[in-house]
Amino acid sequence: MEVKLGFGAVPKPQYVFISKEPDHCWYMLSEDERRIPVYERALTGAITGIEVNKRVETRFGVVEKTDLYILADKPYIIRSGSESYFSQSLLLSLDVLTSEQLPNPLTITVSPGESNVVFCKISDPITYRSVDVMWDGSIPFLQKHQIAN
């Protein structure tokens, strides 16, 4: 990553949220809390961290979220509900990856499902090969790896 000298934006991560809408599945928030749709279906970068079951205060009260930290053109934090299909499929996909694959750039893809469901798929940006997972209701990634709560 090249460092830009001179004036620029405040160096802080950009939050990305998950929501199934007619023409997009994720969005960012503007300074005045308006939703800014992200129409691209994929984000490629290196995963730098993950927080599971993080308690977050929202206008609906305290809820549990999953935050995935990813470094791409700038740092992003993908935030989704801990019990959401997105978070569950994200954790299942991460569980399949080896410790050698995790530091490499990966592509996170959103896919709309029925109702308000959004699924996550992880793939290798060089080979375009996706991580195939089957969900049996458990999330072994949480038992296998140290996850910050």
Q: Does residue 32 lie within any of the structural domains?
A: yes
List beta partners, residue 122: 108
Q: Does residue 64 lie within any of the structural domains?
A: yes
Residue-level pLDDT at 136: 60
Q: Mean pLDDT of all residues in the chain?
A: 86
Gap between the Cα atoms of 73 and 30, Å rounded: 18
Residue-level pLDDT at 132: 74
Residue-level pLDDT at 108: 96
Gap between the Cα atoms of 108 and 93, Å rounded: 10
The two beta strands, 75-81 and 14-18, are parallel
Residue 108, class by beta-carbon neighbours within 10 Å (0-12 exposed, 13-18 middle, 19+ buried)? buried
Please state the length of the chain. 149
Q: How many domains does the chain have?
A: 1
The contacts of residue 59 (CB under 8 Å, 6+ apart) are none
For residue 111, CA distances in Å to 8, 31, 41, 118, 123 come to 33, 27, 7, 6, 13
Q: Does residue 109 lie within any of the structural domains?
A: yes
Q: Does residue 6 lie within any of the structural domains?
A: no
Q: Does residue 9 lie within any of the structural domains?
A: no
Angle at 87 (CA atoms; ends 71, 42), nearest 5 degrees: 45
Range of the domain at 23: 14-144
Kind and range of the H or E run holding 144: helix 140-144
Q: Does residue 149 lie within any of the structural domains?
A: no
Q: Would you say the pTM of this structure is higher than 0.95?
A: no
Residue range 50-75, pLDDT digits in tens: 999 999 988 888 999 999 999 999 99
Gap between the Cα atoms of 13 and 69, Å rounded: 9
Residue-level pLDDT at 144: 44
Q: Does residue 2 lie within any of the structural domains?
A: no
Q: Does residue 120 lie within any of the structural domains?
A: yes
Residue 56 in tokens: 């977050």
Low-confidence winner among 26-40, 55-69, 126-140 (lowest mean pLDDT) = 126-140
Q: How many CB atoms lie within 10 A of CB 99?
A: 7
